[in-house]
Amino acid sequence: MKFSEYHLNDALGAILAHSLRLPNKALKKGTILTQADLWFLKEYGNWLVGYPTTFLVVTVTMMFGGILSSAVLNYDLPVDANALIGVYVSVGAVLIAMSLVVSARSWARVNGMPLT
């Protein structure tokens, strides 16, 4: 008997060595994976990994926008405020870029796309 890990795109017809219990479905040990099982597992992965990381990207972007807009609207813009806005912009750009990378890698991992 050969035990191995398979990506969801390559697992059609594979036999489960261990049972898998998910919120709406249970796959028993010895189950031969069908196309419907693989579709369910992929969608479950999207809800578990892909959607939350995308939500994180949107949340970070909106929070950064709120901080920046409040700094611009509520303060006179002397030199110190401009420096503060510059720091916010720099940190926010890094956070958004990191969030986008994490989100893209999560979607790729779940959906079987190559990671570049």
How high is the pLDDT of residue 110?
64
Residue bearing the bigger pLDDT, 27 or 64: 27
| Burial (Cβ within 10 Å: 0-12, 13-18, ≥19) of residue 106 | buried
pLDDT score at 32: 92
Q: Region 1-24: what's the mean pLDDT?
A: 80
Q: What per-residue confidence (pLDDT) applies to 47?
A: 65
Higher local confidence (pLDDT), 93 or 72: 93
**For position 78, what pLDDT does the model report?**
67
pLDDT band per the 50, 70, 90 thresholds, residue 83:
confident
Burial classification of residue 110, based on how many CB atoms lie within 10 Å of its CB (0-12 exposed, 13-18 middle, 19 or more buried):
buried
Beta strand 26-27 pairing with 20-21: antiparallel
pLDDT in tens, 26-59: 889 999 989 888 888 877 776 666 677 777 777 7
